[in-house]
Homo-oligomer: A and B are copies of this chain.
Amino acid sequence: MEHIKNIVLIGAGNVATHLGYALEKGGFQIVQVYSRTKAAAQKLADDLYTDFTTDLHSIRKDGDLYIISVRDSAVKNIAEQLQIAPNPVVHTSGSLDLEILKQTSDRRGVFYPLQTFSKSRNTQFKTIPICLEANSEELLAELENMAGKISDHVQRINTERRRILHLAAVFACNFPNFMYTIAEEIVEQGDFNFDILRPLIKETTEKIMINLPIESQTGPAIRNDQNIMNKHLEMLQAYPAYQKLYEMISREIHENSKKGSE
């Protein structure tokens, strides 16, 4: 197998966009971008100085690698229509298994960057763990070579372990972000700007860059300060769902601290 050089990017969302930039910077060529949304395809293709298509059947056949980077729920449909065999294809999903690409090519893999991507932010790929899987040692080695050009944290990880990471990522990224959203709603009640919470959020995160979160827990729940927790629940009366969350999470923090000290 030739070294991968020319890549076709299928998708123009957050992951596809950042991956496209990183691969270009790493010395690869994105030779075509596909998205069913013309504006998205065109925008990303322009940014990468390449061509685009909105028609799955107009995807060029000579790519060294096809990267499907679309919503999980759209992968199957695209994989079934894509005619690029015998060339290799990968998806970038944390949850889907390898075999979803069975009909696309006999050479298939997974290229999952464990990160949250927003279009508005430049992402440093070097520190991002990239989880690789493939149905042949040859392709796996190729993907490793490629991933190593954009990240220092490339790992071979099977579907089961990748799914564990993806589930953990929900708790490590999506759920904390929603806690921040609730915190913002609360400070608004006091006519505060979200700014007032930013130093606290920053420090909370910086602490666990060094320590484990279980060692960093503070607040009324870990102290089991019923007085304060009852006051807080009272203050949340207008938000029954947040009240319930407050109760459940506090109970779990307390339960968890008992486990630790048993």
Is A146 among interface residues, defined by CB-CB distance under 8 A?
Answer: no
- Choose among B169, B218, B255 the residue that contacts A174 (Cβ–Cβ < 8 A): B218
Q: Are A174 and B222 in contact (CB under 8 A)?
A: yes
- Interface flags for A131-157 (1: CB within 8 Å of B; 0: not) read 000000000000000000000010000
Q: Are A228 and B183 in contact (CB under 8 A)?
A: no
Q: Are A202 and B192 in contact (CB under 8 A)?
A: no
- Interface flags for A203-227 (1: CB within 8 Å of B; 0: not) read 1111111111110111111110101
Given the complex, which residues of B lie within 8 Å of A214, measured CB to CB?
181, 184
Query: Shortest distance in angstroms between A211's beta carbon and chain B's nearest beta carbon?
Result: 7
Beyond A192-B165, A209-B202, whether A217 also contacts B178 by CB under 8 A is yes
Q: How far is the CA of A111 from the CA of B160 in the complex (A)?
A: 50
Q: Are B118 and A200 in contact (CB under 8 A)?
A: no
Interface residues on A, range: 35 or more
Given the complex, which residues of B lie within 8 Å of A103, measured CB to CB?
none
Q: Are B177 and A235 in contact (CB under 8 A)?
A: no
Is A102 among interface residues, defined by CB-CB distance under 8 A?
Answer: no
Q: Are B177 and A208 in contact (CB under 8 A)?
A: yes
Is A49 among interface residues, defined by CB-CB distance under 8 A?
Answer: no
Is A56 among interface residues, defined by CB-CB distance under 8 A?
Answer: no
Is A98 among interface residues, defined by CB-CB distance under 8 A?
Answer: no
Q: How far is the CA of A190 from the CA of B164 in the complex (A)?
A: 6
A contact set with B: CB distance below 8 Å: 14, 71-73, 95, 114-118, 120-121, 123, 127-129, 153, 160-161, 163-184, 186-187, 189-192, 194, 196-214, 216-223, 225, 227-228, 231-232, 235-236, 241-242, 244-246, 248-249, 252-253, 255-256
Query: Mind listing 18 A-B residue pairs with CB under 8 Å?
Result: A71-B225, A120-B211, A153-B199, A165-B196, A169-B197, A169-B219, A170-B219, A170-B232, A172-B180, A173-B204, A174-B219, A174-B222, A177-B216, A179-B179, A181-B213, A201-B208, A244-B248, A245-B249
